[in-house]
Each structure stands twice: as structure tokens, then as C-alpha cells.
Structure 1
């Protein structure tokens, strides 16, 4: 969701050097994009691991912390590094170390997140990032990674020229997962009507959860670049609103995006995406409410196979 703004920033100021700071898990999404000069990762390990990135921060003329990073913000202030911008925490003394406070945040706007990010960067740097902010990018796998992804598919019975569909019903939080009972109905429909393999991907560790649903599974068996290669080959992906849906959006692969508490206007890819959002009165819920939902997370769990099938017909029929 930062890529459109950063791509445009590089077009306007080709000599600027863009460094992106993120965790190790996300780094490969950006590493091969030509307009990002460097991707710096924060490794696991607490405070000391975070402070290891300070030599990289010392090279920067501007620092935008889009999330609350009190240790890095305070260290940057102590080192007198210039132009420190971040989201504020009212009442927290670290906020006073900032040169500018971020007021345009994704969580405070219903605009597409990439457009909000462009507004935020424009405001902080006193520039104008114009143009289309709906076309997001993702790093592409090389030949070796593409071949290794193809080998994984062949191992489970999907040949190089076979068409297939993807389902990604799992997320980083179990309460955001789609109902597997409905996923089974969907798989049965696809098998009966389209006669296509339905491959499950995601971060669920136990393949046993798919028993009686699908024989095709690569749960937790792919690298990020292999996953991108597999999504690129798919005829369509049905995914909870998480990483695979955003990758599909960047690759222009048709995506049925299943929304729980998030807003489609904010997160759904703008190209080739068919979001499903039930828009209950409680949506979007607060961060506190999501941890203990009084409605048993009905926003995601009451999305039915029939709802997905209606979208699927628009893509495949």
C-alpha cells in the first residue's frame, strides 16, 4: 500500500534515495522493486534488535515512522537526526521529540490506503504526489523461484498447464479466518461445475483441518516468492482480507476478497477484485472489541459459500 506513492516520489525526484524499514517477514515483497533503493529489516529480539538499525537511520535526511516506534524515535532524537515524523501518542513524552506529527493515517480515513499514504507523505514532505495511486506493486519471483513453485504444484498433482483456483481462508488471527464449513461447500461446487483443482494456501500448520475438503494443499509449504509465483498462475483466489489478497491485487489476478472488520474502500484492491462485506452495524469494530467480539465474529463467519459463488460466476462464467 506504500508502493504507488513511493513509485511516484521516485518519478518526481529520481535522485532521491528511498529506504524502507520493515520486519523480515515482509521484506521480500519490496526488495526487487526498482524505485526502492534499500529495504532494511528489524530482526526479532526485542529492543537491542531494533536499535541495530540505527546506523541505517543515521544515513537518512527524512524519517517517517508510520507506526508507533518509541525506541527508534527516542534514539533518533538523542542522536539529533533530522526531520523525524511519526504518529503521536497523546500524553506520551516521546511524542514531543517529533519534528512533525502524522495526521493523515490509514486508520482515520475510508479512502483506499495507498491514496491515504500518498496524502500523508505529501503533507510531511511539503510536496504533491499526484497521479493514480490504485496500482500497487509487488516483487516478482525469478526463474528459479518460479520453477520451484511449479515443482511444488506438480508434487500435489497440478501440472504446469493445469488451471486451478486458490483459497486462502486463514489469517494471522484465528478470529479473522473464514468458516471451513462454507469453504467445503464452495470446493464441492467448483469441483462439480468447473472441474478445477482448488488449492489451499496460508499459514495454518495442520493440514488435517482440510480433511474431506480438498486434496490440494500447500499450507505453510511455500516461501513468499513461491507464493507470489503460485498466485500469479491462479485463475482466481478467494481470500480473507490479508497478504494473499493484496498480492493478487498487485498481480491483477481476479480476487474475491472476504472482509470482516475492515472497510473494502480502504483495503480491497482496485483492479480485478470482487469484495464481500456484510456491513453489520458493529463494523468496523474497535481494536478492543475485536479481541472479545459479542457477536462471535459474524462479520467474517457468516459469509456463505453462495455469496462467494455469486462472485465466482462473474469471473469464470
Structure 2
């Protein structure tokens, strides 16, 4: 039985997109064991990703910060497994070195530094037709196996206890369909405009559905609090009300997610939840790499498109109608 190490200590969306690699490794080696090294805040993402058997939490802003922290992590996990191969996302040099110290027989990563490449089993990578980030992650499996990778959907398995919290507590007594609204990103210029959010919320209410604002962190709280009090009353405020698995259960309970350009949109796709993506800034090249692939249930409104609430709502209605007919 082969044992693999996948290293990705990046953020929410980056982590979930790595599932394309994990699923390809499991497709090629069904009996293998896959260990995922995850950034601490996103352990709950990697833990329930399809294809992941075990998660090692890397607390890069806490006990594993810096060189001393890196060495502490190494000591915590050395000699646990003999890894047949390690796959290091984004060519992270800390991850490459860790893989080497852990004794991985082969290491695959996209790193441009000539000295670092001496540690790798691959040379400069020619991705050929693969443009999207999730496909490029998966291509590392092809380099190892020597067999073609498949472009496939990412998947996240929501644990039962998360559904119990949503159904028995957070949404208890709610019977109307819910449309989730995720307006806040890490960059204010990418956020869904407040006037657009409120106009959408009103349209959702008029359609007999419930507009629910989701998100996490102080920026989301501030966004909600800065909405006019009389207008924001139409929203079901679910900001900071869920863990990541609970957010998964919540999204599975929604008819559609309308989202700005965030990792939550990728997460919803991994849950097979229909998504209307609103990308204010992305150009064509960025969309080819980061936008939803064609096999996901989605609508994309990108730079140069119509960002009016009317158009976003029309796309939402079209997506709902399509999925009812399936």
C-alpha cells in the first residue's frame, strides 16, 4: 500500500481546490493512505475532503511559527510513515524541506528556484492544456504515476453532527427556501456592494424565500453593522454562527449561494451547491485559472458584465429553474 503526503498550508479556497489532487491519487491508487498537512484554521476543510485519510495540523502563526516551529512539527511527525511521494502545493519551500526530512522517496512541486529543484523528482513543469488551478494541482499526480490525471469535481463530506446543529438549532422552524449571500472578501474592492446586497435581499424576500447573510470574521460583522438598520432587518444574519463543517451543512440547506470572490464559493462547489459568482475584478486569464469549471452548477458574472441586482437575481432564478428540472 502506498502512502502519500500532500502539503498545503495556504487558505480556505486554496485548501479545498487541492482535493482534485487527492481524488486523483485515490483514483490511481485506491488502497493508498493520504496524509494532508493543513494550515491550522482550515483543518476542518482538509479533514473532510474526499480522499484524505489523516490530517496533520500546521500552526504556522502559533507553535509552528518560524524555523524553531518548523523543527518542532518535524519532530512531532518524524518516523510515523514511509512516504512513497510528497506533493507540495505552490512549491512551498518549507513544505519541500519538510518532505525531504520526513524521508519522502519522491517529491513533486512547482518551484522555480534551481537549488530547490535539486530536492524535487520533477523538473520544470509543462502543464500543457491544464490551466485551472485545481487541474494543475492534480497534474502532480500524473507526474508521479505516469498515467493521465482526470479533471474532476472537488468534494467535501459534511459530518452528521454539523447537519444536526443546522437542522436542530440554527435553522429550526424555518421552512422557506434559503438563498445564502456571501458578500465579504479579503479585499474591500471585491466585496459585493451593500446597495446590491440589500436589493437582492428584497427580491429574495418578494419571491417567498429567505435571504441569509453568511461569513466569518470582524470584517463581515462590520459589513452587516454598517448596513442601514431598517434595511438589514430583511436579512437572516448568520455571520459567525458556524464552524466550517457547520457552514457546509448550512450551504447544503440553501437553494443557491450568491457569493463574491471568496473561498466560500469554491467550498459550495465542493458541496454541489449551485453558486452565482460575482467577480468584480478578475480578468479573463484569472477566470480561466480560478473561476468555476464548466462541470459545476454555477453562473459567473465577471468584470465587464452586468453587476446589477436585477441581473444577479435573474442568474439566480435561472440556476434554480435549471436544477429543479434536473
The question of a shared fold, defined as TM-score above 0.5 by the shorter chain, is answered with: yes
Alpha-carbon distance change, 62 to 274 in structure 1, aligned in 2, over 3 angstroms: same
Aligned-residue RMSD, C-alpha: 2.9
TM normalised by structure 1 equals 0.78
Q: Distance in 2 between matches of 1:217 and 1:74?
A: 44
Q: Residues 165, 81 of structure 1: CA spacing in aligned structure 2 closer, same or farther, 3 A cutoff? A: closer
TM-superposed CA distance for 1:195, in Å, is 2.3
Corresponding residue of 2:178? 164
Instruction: State the Cα distance separating 1:34 from its structure 2 match.
Output: 6.0
- The runs of 5 or more residues in structure 2 that have no matched partner are 1-16, 322-326
Q: CA deviation at 1:64?
A: 1.7
1:1-317 mapped onto 2 (5 Å cutoff): 1-33=17-49, 35-43=51-59, 44-45=61-62, 46-47=65-66, 48-55=68-75, 56=77, 59=81, 60-74=83-97, 76-77=99-100, 81-90=104-113, 93-101=115-123, 103=125, 111-123=131-143, 125-131=144-150, 133-142=151-160, 144-154=161-171, 159-192=173-206, 194-203=207-216, 204-206=220-222, 207-210=224-227, 211=229, 212-213=231-232, 214-259=234-279, 260-261=281-282, 262-263=286-287, 266-269=290-293, 270-278=295-303, 303-316=307-320
3-state DSSP class of the match of 1:238?
A: strand
Would the alpha carbon gap of residues 18 and 78 (structure 1) be closer, same or farther in structure 2, given more than 3 Å must change?
closer
Q: C-alpha distance in 2, partners of 1:264/1:170?
A: 22
Alpha-carbon distance in 2 for matches of 1:32, 1:222: 16
Q: What per-residue deviation string (whole Å, max 9, x for no partner) do you get for residues 170-227 of structure 1?
A: 12333321111111111122222x0211000012133413432343111122111111
TM-score with structure 2 length normalisation? 0.76
C-alpha deviation, 1:310, in angstroms: 2.3
- The alpha carbon displacement at 1:145 in A equals 2.0
Cα distance between partner residues in 2 of 1:40 and 1:98: 22
Equivalences, count: 286
Query: 1:51 Cα shift?
Result: 3.2
Structure 1 residues 271 and 88, CA gap change in structure 2 (3 angstroms): closer
Residue 70 of structure 1, CA deviation: 2.6
SS at match of 1:274: strand
> Structure 1: how far apart are the matches of 2:37 and 2:126?
19
Report Cα offsets for 1:6-58 as digits up to 9, x if no partner.
22322332232211112122222232346322111211321233333325365
Aligned partner of 1:289 in structure 2 is none
Judged with a 3 Å threshold, the aligned counterparts in structure 2 of structure 1 residues 152 and 305 are, in CA distance, closer, same or farther, namely: farther
Contact 1:201 1:220 survives alignment (8 Å): yes
* Counterpart in the other structure of 2:7: none
d(CA) in 1 for partners of 2:312 and 2:27? 39
Note closer, same or farther for the CA distance 1:9–1:305 as it changes in structure 2 (3 Å cut): same
Q: Is the 8 A contact 1:3 1:137 kept in 2?
A: yes
Higher percent of residues as strand:
2
Contact 2:24–2:141 (CA under 8 A) maintained in structure 1: no
Q: Give, in angstroms, the shift of residue 255 of structure 1.
A: 0.9
Counterpart-to-counterpart distance in 2, 1:101 and 1:222: 43
Contact 1:9 1:129 in 2 (8 A): no
The Cα of 1:80 is off from its aligned counterpart by 6.1
Distance of 2:163 and 2:190 partners within structure 1: 30
